[in-house]
Amino acid sequence: MSTVHTVTSLQQSPESERRGRMVKYSVAMGIRLVCIGLCFVAPGWWLLLPAIGAILLPYLAVVVANQVTKSESDLEVYRPGQVVPYSPPQS
């Protein structure tokens, strides 16, 4: 019984996976810049919200960006059939 391999069963390419993580990190750092900007205009106790965001977002962005996601197709590994040692033909 032979297994048919399809292109859809391949894992995500390292370049596209890395690009996705970079986009997530860039979005989080953009939100951090907004939080830093809000620190200059927020009055009173409201200053704590953007300050906490500006302090915690770098840590959270690194954790999220370094998280490698595995889909269901990534968990299933296709292996070739049994490996048989080579024996030269006897003449």
In a domain, 91, yes or no: no
In a domain, 6, yes or no: no
- Residue 48 phi/psi, 5-degree rounding, is -65, -35
Domain that holds residue 49: 14-65
- Count of other CB atoms within 10 angstroms of residue 34: 13
Tens of pLDDT, residues 53-68: 999 999 998 988 888 7
Q: Which of 17-21, 53-57, 81-85 has the lowest mean pLDDT?
A: 81-85
Count of structural domains, the chain? 1
Using alpha carbons, select from 69, 70, 78 the residue that is nearest to residue 9.
78
Q: What is the pTM of this model?
A: 0.63
In a domain, 4, yes or no: no
- CA–CA separation, 28 vs 88, rounded Å? 61
pLDDT over 90 (residue 7): no
The per-residue DSSP string of 1-61 comes to -PPPP-GGGSPPPHHHHHHHHHHHHHHHHHHHHHHHHHHHH--GGGGHHHHHHHHHHHHHH
In a domain, 32, yes or no: yes
pLDDT over 80 (residue 28): yes
In a domain, 27, yes or no: yes
Tell me the percentage of the chain whose pLDDT exceeds 70.
70
In a domain, 29, yes or no: yes
